[in-house]
Amino acid sequence: MLRAGPAVGRGAPAAVPEPPAVPAIAALPHPRELGAGSSFAESALWYACGVPATGIRQGWKLYVPMTLLNAPEMLHQVAPLLLGAGLHFKYVKDLATLQHLNAGVHGYSQIGKCLVVYLPQPQASFLETLKEALGPYRDQCPAVPCARPFGGRLPLFYRFGAYVGGTLVLDGREVADDRSSLAHAVPEGVSDALAGFTDPEAEDPDVRRFLRRYPAFRALAQQGKSGVFHAMDTTAPTLRQVVLKTGYHRGQMQPDGTDGCDLLRREIACYRLLAERRLDRMAPALLDTLDVPRKVALVLEYVDGPNFLQHKLNGRLRPQHLDQAWLLLERFHAAGVYLGDAKLANFLVGPIADSDSDTDEGVRVVDLEAAGMIGDHAPPIRTFFITPEPEDPRRSDFAHFLVSVLYPYDQAGKSWANRRVDVRSCLEREPADEAEAWALERLRVLLDEAPLPL
């Protein structure tokens, strides 16, 4: 027998934190506002300022991560220093691009690369001035995953890379510029000219002990707000597989100031809420948690089964699968709980924990960052942004689930960054299979129904 994880959901009711009011956010400044004059260029996503160094194809790159809340101020603070030093740099043109970058929409390795500085020759005076200018923003910005930190919790990272193209010339050989690995931030054969300007940071012993108990061996998903990993539970009498989820400090910050750690705290509270409402068998078991400054993590039972999105993409999604998910949502709502981000990928098929039979399978729900009690404030976490968006969280759950069935995942231009759907336009399409026919019938009924009472 495997040892059960620590008891959860007992005692006082678990409150889901309510985010603060959303502040007004300034737009990003134009290069002329920063003093660039006419020495700038622009693309769809970037402004490039200063004159690129001629004849230099590779060198050091500095990255200054920013958030929705501090980007305008940081650019006004840092850009004049870069222009005064005669450096070439680029920064994101707008807040939407910054938000997508920090969310991981453009790739996990691109998180935090909001301002990129090309530094062919490191100069001590410039680097010390830059670090001083970034001092007020310590601990306020996300980490850049595949670059080395300057330390001191400064929003400043670096790597050695190509200025043009995707290859480096090292020891007379042309090699690929690997931008997706921290191990290659300073490639073999390159002397780290910036190491002397860094300050090492001590690792939290509580975090180290926790991660040693649950060593991860495979990344299942990496985003700006969190990472999900396949891990092993070394605390059990018999080694078992688990899922480890970690929230990232200042990762994918929302306009209300919440970050990946806040969202994971909310998710932990929601798992405990399910236990209190006797819904915990409808989700993987919560086995362990960690909540310390700058790091939040949870450990879940590993469910060895596909999710409904995999079924859809493989042509195996059937109405009976959708019936099971629909009934699960109804049970949640009857217990006063909404899911918030009800989509195919959040419904898993697998054996039920503590079942009398090893073959007893059912549908379980995962990813509860957006879940909560009906009547509470819901966070702005969605996979789809639908019009019209139902005000009632129960109708919203149903609408989002149906849209996730009908969404054309294989259509050109339909990316994670472009998931805005007018539900009325869905009714004009012909169903591609019996699952879509099921969803269209339910969507017509849902749009015709009167609002549900809260």
pLDDT at position 411: 63
Per-residue b or e along 101-113, where b marks 16 or more CB atoms closer than 10 Å to that residue's CB: bbbbbbeebbbbb
Alpha-carbon span 290 to 246, nearest angstrom: 9
Nearest to 68 by CA among 136, 13, 22: 22
Stretches in the chain below the pLDDT threshold 50 = 1-23, 354-360, 413-414, 416-417, 453-454
Alpha-carbon span 48 to 40, nearest angstrom: 5
C-alpha dihedral over 78, 81, 86, 91, to 10 degrees? 10
pLDDT at position 67: 96
pLDDT at position 384: 85
pTM to 2 decimal places = 0.86
Cβ(241)–Cβ(287) below 8 Å? no
pLDDT at position 356: 47
pLDDT at position 410: 73
pLDDT at position 17: 35
Cβ(214)–Cβ(299) below 8 Å? yes
pLDDT at position 182: 94
pLDDT tens per residue across span 286-313: 999 999 999 999 999 999 989 999 999 9
Task: For each of the domains in the chain, give its residue range(s) and CATH number, in order of start.
Answer: 1-17+205-302 (3.30.200.20), 39-162 (3.30.2430.10), 304-454 (1.10.510)
Burial of 86 (0-12, 13-18, 19+ CB in 10 A): exposed
Per-residue b or e along 376-394, where b marks 16 or more CB atoms closer than 10 Å to that residue's CB: bebbebbbbebeeebebbb
